[in-house]
Amino acid sequence: MESTTTTTLLQGTLDLLILKSLVAGELHGLGISRRIQLISGGTFQVKPGSLFPALHRMEEEGWISSFWGDSENNRRAKYYRLTKPGRKQLEAETRRWGRISWAIAQALEAS
Partner 1 sequence: MPLFVQLRSFFRNLFSIRRVEADFHQELQSHLEMLVEQNLQAGMTPGEAQRAALIELGGVEQLKEQVREQRLGNWLHSILSDCRFALRQFRKSPGFASIAILTLALGIGANTAIFSAMNPTLFAPLPYPRAGRIMMVWDVFQGSRSDVTFHTFRELTSRSYSFESTAALEAWRPTLSGANEPERLEGQSVSTDYFRVLGIPPALGRDFLLSDNAFHGPKVAILSNALWQRRFNADGNIIGKAITLDGDSYQIIGVMPLNFENVLAPSAELWCPMQYDPTRITDLQTTEWGHHLRMVARLRPSVTPEDASKELRTVANSPVPDFPRAPWASMNSGFFVNSLQAEVTRDVRPALLAVFAAVLLVLAIVSVNVTNLLLARGSQRRAEFAMRAALGASRRRMLRQLLTESLLLSVFGGILGMVVAQLGVRALLLLAPPDLPRLSAIALDPSVFAFGVVITGLIGMVIGVVPAMYASRRDLNAGIQPGAQRIAGGHQTIRRALVVAEVSLAFLLLAGAGLLLRSLQHLLAVDPGFQPSHVLTLQVQTSGHKYDDGDARRRFFTQALEQVRRVPGVSSAAFTGLLPLRDKRDTLTAGTYGAFFEKDQRGFDVFLYDVSPEYFLTLGVPMRRGRSLNDRDVASAPQAVLISESLAKREFGDDDPIGQRVHVGPLDRPWYTVVGVAANVKQTSLAMTDLDAVYITPEQQWFADDAMCLVVRTQGEPLALASNIRSAIWSVDKDQAILHVATMDNLLAASAAERKFVLALFETFAIIALVLAAIGIYGVLSFAVTERFREIGIRSALGASRRDILALILYQGMALAVMGCAVGLLAAALIAQAMTTLLFGVSRLDPPTYLAVILLLGLVCAAACLAPAWRASRVDPMVALRYE
Dihedral sign, CA of 68, 79, 33, 104? negative
Site map 57..86 versus partner 1, x via CB under 8 A:
x-xxxxx-------x-x-xxxx-----xx-
Nearer to partner 1, 28 or 104 (CB): 28
Q: Which residues contact 82 (CB under 8 A, 6 or more apart)?
A: 19, 22, 23, 63, 64, 90
Tell me the closest approach of the beta carbon of residue 90 to partner 1, in angstroms: 14
The Cα-based distances of 84 to 59, 64, 88 in angstroms read 12, 8, 7
Tell me the closest approach of the beta carbon of residue 75 to partner 1, in angstroms: 6
User: Which residues of this chain interact with partner 1, rule CB under 8 A?
Assistant: 3-4, 28-30, 47-49, 52-54, 56-57, 59-63, 71, 73, 75-78, 84-85
